[in-house]
C-alpha cells in the first residue's frame, strides 16, 4: 500500500514533470499549477491553468502509481467525469511513473492526455499537440 509520504513525493515529481513539459512549448504559458485533494467524485490532484495562444485552458491531472489495464480504464473514466464538471476548456491528464504501450493506447482512445516520469507524453490542448517518446527502457525496479 502506498504511504501518504510516497504519494506526496510522486505528486511532487509529477507536478515538476508537468511543469517541465509545458515549459518546452512556447505557445503554452503556465499561469498556475496547484495540488488539490480529490473532491467528491472528482479525480483531479494537480490542476494547471494555462494559456494556449492567449486562450485559457485547464489541465485536470490525476497522479497514479498503479497502472494495470483495469486501473487505467477506471482512472480514465473518473478523469472524463472530472473534466466534465470543471468550467471552460478542460483536458484530463493521467500522470504515472510509467505507461505501457497498452496504457498509452487506452489514454489516446479516451482522448485523455498522459505524462510519465520516463519521458513519454501525449497531450492535446486547444490547437497544440505535445508528443514525446522516451528511448529509455522501463525497469521493473
Whether the pLDDT of residue 39 is over 60: the answer is: no
What pLDDT score does 1 carry?
A: 40
Mean pLDDT calculated for residue range 122-139: 80
pLDDT in the model for residue 2: 46
User: Which of the four pLDDT bands, split at 50, 70 and 90, describes residue 120?
Assistant: very high
CA–CA separation, 6 and 8 (whole Å): 5
Q: What distance in Å separates the CA atoms of residue 45 and residue 61, rounded to the nearest whole number?
A: 6
Q: What is the mean pLDDT of the chain?
A: 83
3 Cβ contact partners less than 8 Å away, ≥ 6 residues apart: none
What mean pLDDT is predicted for residues 31-43? 70
Which pLDDT does position 45 carry in this prediction?
A: 85
**Fold category of 4-132 in CATH:** Trna Endonuclease; Chain: A, domain 1 (3.40.1350)
The structure's pTM equals 0.83
41, 114 in Cβ contact below 8 A?
Answer: no
Residue 73: per-residue pLDDT = 86
Mean pLDDT within 117-136: 87
Tens of pLDDT, residue by residue over 51-64, are: 999 899 999 999 98
User: Directed axis angle between helix 69-85 and helix 101-109, to 10°?
Assistant: 30
The confidence band for 65, taking pLDDT boundaries of 50, 70 and 90, is confident
Q: What is the mean pLDDT of residues 40-54?
A: 78
Amino acid at each position: 500500500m502506498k504511504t501518504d509520504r510516497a504519494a506526496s513525493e510522486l505528486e511532487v515529481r509529477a507536478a515538476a514533470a508537468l511543469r517541465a513539459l509545458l515549459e518546452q512549448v512556447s505557445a503554452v504559458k503556465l499561469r498556475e499549477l496547484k495540488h488539490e485533494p480529490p473532491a467528491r467524485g472528482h479525480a483531479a490532484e494537480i490542476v494547471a491553468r494555462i494559456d494556449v495562444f492567449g486562450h485559457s485552458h485547464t489541465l485536470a491531472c490525476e497522479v497514479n502509481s498503479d497502472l494495470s489495464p483495469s486501473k487505467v480504464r477506471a482512472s480514465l473514466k473518473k478523469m472524463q467525469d472530472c473534466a466534465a464538471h470543471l468550467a471552460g476548456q478542460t483536458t484530463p491528464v493521467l500522470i504515472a511513473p510509467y505507461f505501457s504501450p497498452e496504457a498509452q493506447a487506452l489514454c489516446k482512445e479516451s482522448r485523455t492526455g498522459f505524462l510519465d516520469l520516463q519521458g513519454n507524453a501525449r497531450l492535446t490542448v486547444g490547437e497544440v499537440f505535445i508528443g514525446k517518446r522516451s528511448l529509455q527502457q522501463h525497469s521493473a525496479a
